[in-house]
Amino acid sequence: MKRRDFLSSLLSLIIFIVSGKLLLDFLGFRLKKSHKIRILRDEVTENPRIKEGVIYFRDRDGLHILSGRCTHLGCIVEFDEKSGIFKCPCHGSEYALDGSVIKGPARKRLKKLDYIVDGNIILTAVD
């Protein structure tokens, strides 16, 4: 086998492996299953709380349930009681209580999550 043929075969193998890895990572990200979160109705207060990546609180407009995942790169946001906003600990994005972006790098708002109230339990699903 000539040196040129060997290097060509080796390069093809490397490209094949890297492409396969990228494809698997992409499909794994897209096919992530959501899981259900149970929140006791008595736990819901005016102060936002975060449980397993879900933000929940109530105000005069009712119950609010949002994804706690920063829309920039997916870190879980934290609630800053002093300023009354959600902050991403990874890259500094900031969100208002309604989920809208105050400061980037995030460009999209926090996702509102659908939920069901069943007696004293609130059920929602999160990715």
pLDDT in tens, 67-124: 999 999 889 999 999 999 999 999 999 999 999 999 989 999 999 999 999 889 999 9
Residue closest to 78 by CA, chosen among 103, 53, 98, 108 = 53
Please tell me the total count of domains within the chain. 2
Q: What is the pLDDT of residue 32?
A: 55
Query: Above 80 in pLDDT, residue 127?
Result: no
Strand arrangement of the beta sheet that strand 35-40 belongs to: 35-40, 121-126, 115-118
| Whether residue 116 sits in one domain with residue 89 | yes
For 53-66, the pLDDT digits (tens) are: 999 999 999 999 99
For 12-24, the pLDDT digits (tens) are: 889 988 887 777 7
| Whether residue 47 sits in one domain with residue 13 | no
| Whether residue 72 sits in one domain with residue 45 | yes
| Whether residue 99 sits in one domain with residue 40 | yes
| Whether residue 90 sits in one domain with residue 43 | yes
| Whether residue 51 sits in one domain with residue 111 | yes
Domain extent, residue 44, equals 35-126
